[in-house]
Structure 1
Amino acid sequence: MAPKQQRGEATVDLLLDTALRVYADSGRPGFTVNAVTAASGVSFGSLYHHFGSFDGLAAALYIRCSDQLCDRVVPEVIRSRTARTGTRALVRTYLDFTRQHRDVALFLHASVHSRYLANHAQEVMTAKEAAFAPIAAWLHGRIAAGEMAPLPAHLIEILVMGPVVEVAQRWLSTAYEVDLDEAVRVLPDRIWRSLRAD
């Protein structure tokens, strides 16, 4: 790799790392182009060169965080031999990731409906679909094998991710007291019961 390309990649990584730290420290109100450039020491021009806009930076950070989550969750699910163990693995791994990578989980959950992702919604959706495609294929195989109820994919996503996302959001918020250990113990089987074939 050429030195110029290496410097460019290092700048991109620095901006993404700094943006995540700024968000974790200051929340959405403090997540601004001025805050990120000041904390990173990278110029406005360089940020816009690499990402096109501050919204572009936010979208790239969201995709990177989503990929980090998928890197943990996807292997746990697709190596599961049954629909039950795969469902349980997805729930446990997602919640464990939330605990271990609080800053990443906070950005993912707080940003999903944010203004700064709106201009890059298609890019974000395409990236998420590609990252989660192995799980979608795994689910299709479990349904075809008769292990899971033959529900539309969006309903399966709601049944699995609805409770998991709600627990994660409450745990990440200071407004709620949520026992994440209890959720990891209780939710996997409860969610599985909603999915199993009758």
Structure 2
Amino acid sequence: MRPGHAQCWHPPGAARGPFILFEPDVLRPDLARLLAPLTAHEAPAVLSPHPDDTAWLQQTALQLLDEHRALGRRPLDIHHALRRSLLESLLLRLANSPGIAPTGTATAGTGRADRYGRFLDALELHFRELHQAADYAELLGCSVRTLSRAAQDATGKGVRELIDERRLLEARRLLGTARWDARTVAVHLGFTDPANFGRFFRDRTGLTPVAFAARAARTDA
């Protein structure tokens, strides 16, 4: 789910098979690039794997489910590593199944619009831990100047401003809807000092995180 989208849960109905939910930042940056057909903004909502891959995908999904249920059976770091490995294998096989058409961001396009789209996808995956334009330029294999031009052409804004906007959007969501406390939000968004987060939030909203959360609570009451 990306910012601005609404999610509605429906009863599974006739759906059959495992449901696998995960946070996007569980994917390592190198894997995220390889999985662009699944994670790009214009990627299709439904992917139908080739029949030759179906049995393997089903088996791997069940192995992932089994490992998820095996918490406590192995050391925690081994448990997490196994889950990550199975998830990555499942997604890589699905993304590269015959008949799954690659999206525009999965190819090495050189246009500024394409580069901006790739930046948005990278930002959505890494805004919690990567906060500098240079971080994203390195991730996308271009210079900061090139990335800045792409962002300016698309939005009229700088890369750092777009990064801050995404962090602010997440902060507002967590404070106002999820009811997280300010210190937890600060840590989640990569602020080393809650006071720095407070200044960041107040400078952009005119409210402290606590005041914003209180106002949201009154509005919902």
**TM > 0.5 fold call:** no
* TM-score normalised over the length of structure 2: 0.29
Determine which structure has greater relative contact order: mean sequence separation of CA pairs < 8 Å that are 6+ residues apart, divided by chain length.
1
Bigger Rg over Cα: 2
Bigger fraction of residues in helix:
1
TM-score (norm 1): 0.31
